[in-house]
Structure 1
Amino acid sequence: KSILVSCPHENVSTKFLAPYTTFCRIHQKSITCLDISSGGGLGVSTSTDGTMKIWQAANGEIRVRASRRLFCVVCGFVSLCLLGCLSEGGLCFDAGILDTAIVDRGRNVLSCSRDGTARLWDCGKSACLGVIADCGSPVNGIAVGAADNSLNLGTPEKAPSEREVGTEGKILLLAREDKKLQGVGLQSRQPVFLFVGSDAFNCCTFLSSTYILAGTQDGNIYQLDVRNTNAPIQVIHRSGAPVLSLLPYRDGFIASQGDGTCFVVQQDLDYVLDLTEADCDPVYKV
């Protein structure tokens, strides 16, 4: 079910789309993280009730129940549970882990923390390969992607570890609490750019090797060209609520916000698609 609302005078249109089904019994409390399998058959989600569950996307039937440490509840990645144990033991991070990203096929992963660092991990040995960046401010979100060929990513000060796989030619985005969006060469550990926004950055993602998105606490979504970050290509502002999640989708993106807003922007559509039902509950992840 949907309804299209247009304002011809302002040349603005939004289609409000209702969900075709809702799963109410998977979790008892807030859902903090969510992902779907590549084929779309299974979903995995974590909750503030302390559980992680894997369920069938067709009917919501729960296949696996798991209780993990707080790290898993916040980040939602099973493969990184050991990192949470390491951080709790004081071996690596000095504060909570806020986001993770998988490098290439997953032999290496990245994580960021309230202590202001972003770190690279070797999954096979459950070991930290190094600090990619130390920002001096909490890093709320990260994203990794292939860099445009024209971008200078810098040169590593020392030869990368043989356990470091798939980092060459990659750039790491850091959404920082101090209103800064930073780009760092993943293999070189060298800064590539630093963009100052209107408020704390909560999330970021790649649209392509050239274009990126980042969302702030005051509701702004910045689209930037990594080759020239002096000024944004555009700033999208749908509401003043925090932008909590961004996901590339076809030739556009999906965004969610703290007031329950969840919308899809695509270049081939002359309207914005607004996903309803969340009401005023924050949508933490799309």
Structure 2
Amino acid sequence: MDIVCALQTFMRVVETGSFSAAAADLSRTQPAVSRQVSALEAHLNTRLLHRTTTALALTAEGEQLIPMAVKVIEAVEALSEVSCRGGATVAGKVRLALPTPLGLYVSDRLGTLLDRHRGLSVDLLCREEPSDLVEEGIDLEVRLGVVADCSLMCRRIGWTTAFLVATPSYMQGRAPLQIPDDVGAHDCICYSRAGNGRLWSFSNGAEEVSVRVSPRLIASNAAAVHRSVLAGNGLAVLSHIVVGSDIAEGRLVNLLPEFPPSRLPINVVYPSRRNLPLRIRTVLDFLIEVVGEDPLMAPAFSH
């Protein structure tokens, strides 16, 4: 039995939650995956998974095996890279989680990376809440703002730029905004990413002001907020990725340009690992490259 392959299969079953999902992910049949896990259990002389007709659950021994399996798999991947350094092939799947606006930006550019590395595939997850990286088998995640989890490796790759926007029709007949505190008198549409949508922060570089708003509409998805603001339903704070072309073409007005929404650091986080596999390092380098290409996200940019 190939113990490394068996451990990789076991980990994919744990990460996906089923033999059938793991089989699809690994391009194998469900019986083949089941047989490989059973062979691993026989080799270790212990049961790793409780199986029912509707669900799988880890045994205590299965739980204990996970960190050891990760170390073995990472060591083998690192050894493979050392043995073929200079001619290494980037191959395998990388699970990448990003906030939705940045996910849209990255998805437009991923074709270049995939054309460059034909053996590489990317599982792109667009979501608004932070993930449990180990539990969900996520290799890299982009998070906005301060990363409080000290168990994760964290690399800052840029800064967000957002605009306070509304349609010209919504602003018609209303007094123009002069200071951030004027926002509270308007209909506000909140993007509730990570549960923090009702406190809007603005900064002119020297002063930061936070305004608590009473939203008429709250949405957990940036696309829903974007559509609502375009419909003339009120003000919203949205990424330049989402509204840049709308402002340029006059569909939306950039409000308070001298006191824009505060910028947040763009961080890439990943589980603490001594040696990142080449496939993950390649995607990390790609993220750094594409974020740095946008002057409104590049680390050196300032208002």
- Normalising by structure 1, we get a TM-score of 0.20
* Larger fraction in strand: 1
Give the helix-richer structure, 1 or 2.
Answer: 2
Q: Which has the higher contact order (CA 8 A, sep 6+)?
A: 2
Larger radius of gyration: 2
